[in-house]
Amino acid sequence: MSRKDLECRRGSEQHRCPKSFLLQIQLVNFLMKQKLQCCFSLAVVCLAGSLTCLAQTANWPQFRGPNGSGISTEKNLPNEWSAEKNIQWKTPLPGRGHSSPVVWGNKVFLTTDIEGDIVPGAKAVEHVRSGKVWVHPDATSGNRKHTLKVLCLDRNNGKILWEKIAYEGTVYDDRHRKNTYASGTPVTDGRYVFAFFEAEGLYCYDFNGKLIWKTSVGKISKVGMGPGTSPVLYKDLIILQCDLEDGGKDLSFISAVDKRTGKEVWRVKRDHRKTHATPLIVRAGNRDELITNGWETVVAYDPATGKELWSCEGVKGWGIPSPVANSEMVFLAAGYPNKRAMGIKLGGLENITGTQKPVWSYDKGTAYVASPILYGEYLYLISDKGILTCIEAKTGKIIYEGGRVPIPASFSASPVAFDGKLFLTSEDGDTFVIKAGPQHEVLGTNSLDEPVLASPAIAAGKIFIRGEKHLYCIGNAGSK
């Protein structure tokens, strides 16, 4: 058959069944379109997932980083440094502060307090215990002028891009001699940074240092111990845990402020004595839970409304360490006057309401200030002297106790973890590298020769450590 005859035959076949032929063409076009849309949607999902993972890796937006866990997924971080080795930059900081640095993109934020002279006639609020005026023996500085600042540094070179005075004047309460009025870590959503100075106010700045709004949630006092809790973000809300004095009806509270306006959205009263812990937001089943540490009770709220979801017996000590969690349980601790750690089942998994009991508890090994860290299947407790306890998180089984650092030390900073290692930074500025897992092993010691009480931050291949007088950026040689 010739080519001409074949073409004629094809034309004749098409002419004999034009509807069938056109339907085939339309079906092919439809399937091709659906395939392209499916591929495009899959590509968008993959890209979004990749960008989310990248953002979480590149940024450290709040106290203890993404999810408040203290854990970084990065692999290329330095394991060794000193005052000279692997220091990419070192920037002098004005004043004092124990707030951790937070990092977003090429910007690093932190807060500081510049303490001035005694102000004649100024004094802190009075504290009453057992019907008598009571002053903590370590309380100080409530009679001085204070300048509270928010600082922004360039992540690449440490240059201070701007510093803004949030508050200047006398303060409402004293502080512990080791504490500062800039101990709460800021939080950022990538567009604004929010700094909480407790009684001296909550402030919102844009990334250029412009004050967007400021507000006060009330006169916050903590028996002269000073501030410490950090704000957390939930969607458009900034959540603040404000437990005051020795507790009592209508004194303590937790509140949520609209991050766009500074207006309070909800407030719930709490009959809790003072805490310095930062609350934790965790996904539990099909709902979000806002977990708060406390001496009397541990309480979970709906972060959107403040409605109480469930409660559990408390840690029976000052709620200073912050909680950590996985998808099934939350873990809390206190180190003074009683030592206690415990694991509690998250309520959303089984629609738990009302009061529940801990899955397990352990009555030693905890710190006064430093928070525990949950890494993999193990919960690690650090004592005030750096003694580690490793616990199987799900069951409370003790894996090991008495894991020691190689030299005597005291600890206030909370540990961080990455790439199978725990990093414990002492008040002397020594960071001890501990192998994560069921056997305690010290892998190394890195010293900065400067006191450190702030918890480290990890972002974009760098470790940021705030010392008494400097902010350090630590990275492998040649990294940018």
Structure tokens that stand for 244 in this block = 């005051």
Please state the pTM of the whole predicted model.
0.88
User: How many Å apart are CA 84 and CA 235, to the nearest integer?
Assistant: 41
Whole-angstrom distance, CA of residue 266 vs CA of residue 307: 10
Query: What residues are paired with 297 via a beta bridge?
Result: 313
- Helical (H) or strand (E) element with 6: helix 3-16
What ranges make up the beta strands (E) of 142-224?
A: 144-154, 160-170, 175-176, 187-188, 192-196, 202-206, 211-215
Q: Give me the residues of the chain with pLDDT under 50, please.
A: 1-25, 27-28, 31, 35-56
Token pair of 5 as six digits: 């005859």
d(C-alpha 471, C-alpha 157), whole Å: 11
Whole-number pLDDT of residue 33: 52
- Give counts: helices (H), strands (E), the chain: 2, 37
Strand partners, 40: none
Q: Tell me if 26 sits within 8 A of 20, measured CB to CB.
A: no
72: its two tokens: 């970084």
Nearest-angstrom CA–CA distance, 308 and 274: 19
Q: pLDDT digit string (tens) for 84-101?
A: 899 999 999 999 999 999
Which domains occur in the chain, in start order?
Answer: 61-474 (2.130.10.10)
| pLDDT reported for residue 4 | 42
Strand bridging mode 329-334 / 324-325 = antiparallel
d(CA 245, CA 272): 9
How far is Cα 111 from Cα 410, in angstroms, rounded to an integer? 24
